[in-house]
Amino acid sequence: MTTISQPAVPVKSPTRRGSWSRRAPLLPALVITLVLTQIPFALTIWYSLQHWNLLNPGHKGFAGLDNFRTTFGDDTFWKAIKNTVVLTGGATIASMLVGLVLAMLLQKKFPGRGIARTLAITPFFVMPVAVTLFWRSAMFDPSFGLLGWLTDSVGLPRVNWLSEQSMLSIIMITSWRWTPFAMLVLLAGLQALPDDQLEAARVDGANWWQQFRNVVLPHLRPFLELTALLLSMNIIQTFGEIALLTAGGPAFGTTNITYYVYLRAFNSFDFGTASAYGLVTLVLTIALALPALRLLSGIFQKEGRR
């Protein structure tokens, strides 16, 4: 981007040609992306203005803003938004905290570190459906699940995890799956920290907490921001865990937006309102994604200056 800021009047045409020869190879990818995303997007807008229930073809026709009125008046939709925020926020924070602790531990040199690192990353590579089915019976089950044994051993009563603590359960399994990802990024960040800075801090007499607070954390900040961004972008789309563990219930207690749009479209076959739900979600997500993307580009600029 430096070329743009130069006073470029005499060299204008070669620059343009140069930039095009650089950009042209990217064009097919751009075109494919636009075709694959923007045509369905435009169709979604069109559908959202229609009465279109697949099972009831007789009622098809222009609906105006009816579907949007339904969307804003639907308590369940707002509940799904609230659930999405709780789930995304909770799982992101939990994954980052545990991931940071694990990264700090695994950064230290100890025998068997390679094996420990591999094991710590594993959850991320197991298929989500397999993980979910395993957790369902081996972890959450009140009579023979591991969590029941855990609560027993600290003297707490058995918990009906998926019925009574459904949202907590979903947050637990989601953060279990995403913690290794957070750990990987943060570990890379920790390894980029020059040893001499910590050594200097030690020479100056800083204790462990001061080293962490004043040297490690500021260094990790861009990595933490990046992790938070990537995690929340992924966790916001959580679907499989919800579909397999709770079917969005009880009483829509674990229905996030992704699952709710799915229910509207592929259970009720009401494509008109499902499209409207999708669009409202899109606007809300852009409102959230813009500051996040600005943050991301800030991170890269900082990296570039270094």
Partner 1 sequence: MPRTGRRQLITATVVVGTLTAAAACSDPSAGQDASGNTTITVALAANPQMKTAESLISDFEQKNPGIKVKFTTLPENDLRPAVTKDVATKAGQYDVAMIGSYEVPIWAKNGWIVPLDSYVSKDTAWDENDVLQPIKDIVSADGKLYAAPFYGSSSFLFYRKDLAKKAGVTIPQKPTWQQVAAAAAKLDDKKDGVSGICLRGLPGWGQNLASLTTVINTFGGRWFDEKWQPQLTSPATEKAVKFYVDLLRAHGQQDAAKDGWEGCLQQIAQGKTAMWYDDTVFAGSALQEATAQVKNNLGFAMAPVDQTKASGWLWSWGLGITQSSKHKDAAWKFISWATSKEYIKLAGTKAGWDSVPPGSRTSTYSIPQYQSAAKSYADLTLASINAANPKQPTVDPVPYTGVQYVQIPEFTDIGDYVSQQVAGAIAGTQSVQQALKKSQSYTESVVKKAGYLK
Minimum Å distance from CB 226 to partner 1?
16
Span 88-117, contacts to partner 1 by CB under 8 A: none
Please, what is the minimum distance in Å from the beta carbon of residue 69 to partner 1? Answer: 11
Of the two residues 164 and 199, which places its CB atom closer to partner 1 in the complex?
Answer: 164
Site for partner 1 (CB under 8 A): which residue of 160, 207, 210, 214?
160
Stretch that binds partner 1, among 101-109, 210-218, 223-231, 252-260 (CB under 8 A): 252-260
Q: Shortest gap between Cβ of 302 and partner 1 (angstroms)? A: 15
Please name the residue that has the structure tokens 């674990």. 254
Q: Is 260 exposed, middle or buried (0-12, 13-18, 19+ CB in 10 A)?
A: buried
Supply the minimum distance, in Å, between the C-beta of residue 25 and partner 1.
Answer: 19
Stretch that binds partner 1, among 8-16, 134-142, 188-196, 202-210 (CB under 8 A): 134-142
Q: 59 vs 221, which CB is nearer to partner 1?
A: 59
Least Å distance, CB 257 to partner 1, is 10
d(CA 55, CA 209): 63
Alpha carbons 180 and 119: distance in angstroms, whole number: 9
Residues numbered 168 to 227 that lie near partner 1 (CB under 8 A) are none
Query: For helices 257-266 and 271-305, what crossing angle results, to 10°?
Result: 150
Query: Which x/- pattern, by CB under 8 A, does the window 15-54 give for partner 1?
Result: ------------------xx-xxx-xx-xx--x-----xx
- Residue 299 burial class via C-beta count within 10 angstroms: exposed 0-12, middle 13-18, buried 19 and up: middle
Contacting range for partner 1; rule: CB under 8 A; set: 99-107, 186-194, 211-219, 269-277: 269-277
Stretch of residues binding partner 1 (CB under 8 A), selected from 21-29, 184-192, 212-220, 262-270: 262-270
- Contact between 238 and partner 1 by CB under 8 A: the answer reads no
**Between helices 166-191 and 113-121, what is the axis angle to 10°?**
140
Binding partner 1 (rule: CB under 8 A), the pick from 77, 135, 140, 259 is: 140
CB 190 within 8 A of CB 216: yes
